[in-house]
Amino acid sequence: MSAVAARLERLPISGFHRKLLLIGGLGYMFDGLDSSSLAFLLPVVSKLWHLTSAQSGLVASSTYIGYFFGAFLSGVLADVIGRRRIMMSALAIYCAASLASATANDWHTFFALRIVAGFGSGAETVVIAPFLAEFVPRRYRGIFCGALVGFMSFGYLGSAILGFSVVRNFADGWRYLAVATSLPVVMLLWWRRTLPESPRWLESQGRRGEANRIVSEIEAWFASRGIRLAPASVSAVLPAAAPIKTGAWQNVLTLWSPRLARTTAVSWLMWFSVAFAYYSFFSWIPSLLLKEGLTMTKSFGYSIAIYGAQIPGYFSAAWLNERIGRKAVVASYMLLGGMAAIALAFSHTGLQIMAAGIALSFFMNGAFAGVYAYTPEVFPTSVRATGTGSSSSFGRIGSVSAPILVGLVYPTLGFLGVFAMTTSVLLIGACVVFFLGIETRNRSLEDIEVQGAEAAPDLRGPLSSTEMRG
């Protein structure tokens, strides 16, 4: 690895890293609050503006439409112009659009603003995990990146509380909720002004002076607090490879080059299967259970329990990321989520539904803690954000197609057919990750890059040491 990477790897975990985790985590929390609040806003605005089913469906998909384009575009641009600039710009777009949506007086305006808000949300969340991964040493990277997305669970829980306490009890409650999802981000936007750019990204762009300056400032922060740093391992330090600056389109093509094609395919399929299963279950379970005569899914207690189960799901998976590895976490939580779904399909009492629903929420959200930690690790620094953003965008295809397919399958194959289809997708995704994915636990980002290059079929001959260092 380069001298910059070696200096970052030997840093002990401290308040500096925890600050980055908190700032990034709060971004995920408010994004989760905003996106999940639509479930509580939609019934109100549909009634307010007398929307047809088709119009309601469009409004319901608005955030996901914006997220799809925001995630892909920001991932590509973050590898070209930097992580920090994209994070700041995306957060400003999201905050402004969320706040403006509270003033909408017709569904067309609300729909457009929700797309813009989704664009900003998707653009921001895609870059946070790669950004954090490039600062945190290998021995803590899995738990930090897994815990990062865990903050989103607090946003989902908050939206449930606000939805039941504010939206349902005030005439303009939906506007209050829209304001609530955006105002705290102003503070976060100010806080993020102190964030440094990623030294690993700067080095990959040939800006080694800036990279070394930022690392020196981080080391000075440790020194000012009396924390002694071990010297970087001399045997591990190699001269940084000459940067290869490419355009955004070239970065996209690089993802499907012989050296990265398998990595990209595994990542895209992982995101698709998890998103497909998640949105199959949680967008249709209430309606399907109601058709089966089980009405408790409309209760406040059920919603709080399901949303609350996300919290231990995310953080247990984050902890296991360093114990058993990201691959094992993703695969096992996906399989256990499928088992919980099967249990839910055979549930007939309130207690059974609650227990199976909690287990399903626990494992399906926990799988995302593995996914968010794993994805930034498997792509080289030069295309890390592009790989993460494209994977997330491809996952959105699963989240959009899942409710449609469930609607088509249910009339023909019934309740059990829906769960059989969804758990099959989970099983395929788990097998792809476990058997074809690269192991990343306790490996530096540079070591993972070399491992991935060596494992891939090479159509151009052997790699030189400079190419492997990237």
CB atoms within 10 A of CB 224: 8
Reported pTM? 0.86
Average pLDDT over residues 416-424: 85
Residue 240 falls inside a structural domain: no
Q: Tally helices (H) and strands (E) across the chain.
A: 19, 0
* CATH code of the domain in which 84 resides: 1.20.1250.20
pLDDT tier at 292, thresholds 50, 70, 90:
low
Residue 61 falls inside a structural domain: yes
Q: Taking the C-alpha atoms of 392, 394, 400 and 405 in order, what is their torsion angle to the nearest 10 degrees?
A: -130
- Token code pair at residue 67: 């997220």
Residues whose CB falls within 8 Å of the CB of residue 189, separated by 6 or more in sequence, listed in order: 88, 91, 92, 95
Identify which of 204, 252, 189 has the alpha carbon closest to the alpha carbon of residue 393: 252
Q: Taking the C-alpha atoms of 128, 118, 99 and 48 in order, what is their torsion angle to the nearest 10 degrees?
A: -150
pLDDT value at 470 more than 50: no
Residue 357 falls inside a structural domain: yes
pLDDT value at 21 more than 80: yes
Residue with the larger pLDDT of the pair 372 and 281:
372
Domain containing residue 428: 3-227+246-455
Q: How many residues make up the chain in this entry?
A: 470
Domain count of the fold of the chain? 1
pLDDT value at 241 more than 80: no
How much is the pLDDT for 228? 83
- Token code pair at residue 287: 């309606």
Residue 464 falls inside a structural domain: no
Residue 364 falls inside a structural domain: yes
- Token code pair at residue 206: 């040939």
- Per-residue pLDDT tens for 261-279? 999 999 999 999 999 998 8
Mean of per-residue pLDDT scores for the chain: 86
How much is the pLDDT for 463? 39
Taking the CA atoms of 405, 411, 413 and 416 in sequence, report the sign of the dihedral they define: positive
Average pLDDT over residues 370-376: 96
pLDDT value at 38 more than 90: no
Residues whose CB falls within 8 Å of the CB of residue 187, separated by 6 or more in sequence, listed in order: none
Residue 314 falls inside a structural domain: yes
Lowest mean pLDDT among 108-112, 177-181, 311-315, 447-451: 447-451
Residue 465 falls inside a structural domain: no
Provide φ and ψ at 315, rounded to 5°: -75, -30
Determine the Cα–Cα distance for residues 150 and 398; give it in Å rounded to an integer. 21
Helix (H) / strand (E) element for 309: namely none
Q: Where is mean pLDDT largest: 171-180, 214-223, 237-246?
A: 214-223
How much is the pLDDT for 129? 94
Average pLDDT over residues 287-299: 59
Average pLDDT over residues 386-400: 92
How much is the pLDDT for 458? 45
Determine the Cα–Cα distance for residues 298 and 102; give it in Å rounded to an integer. 25
* 3-state percent helix, strand, coil for the chain, nearest multiple of 5: 80, 0, 20
How much is the pLDDT for 298? 58
- Sequential DSSP letters for 212-235: HHHHHHHHHHHHHTT---PPP-GG
Identify which of 10, 2, 8 has the alpha carbon closest to the alpha carbon of residue 218: 8
Residue 232 falls inside a structural domain: no
How much is the pLDDT for 182? 86
- Per-residue pLDDT tens for 181-228? 888 888 788 888 888 999 999 999 999 999 999 999 999 999 998 888
Determine the Cα–Cα distance for residues 33 and 112; give it in Å rounded to an integer. 19
How much is the pLDDT for 151? 94
How much is the pLDDT for 246? 61
Contact criterion met (CB below 8 Å) for 18 and 221 = no
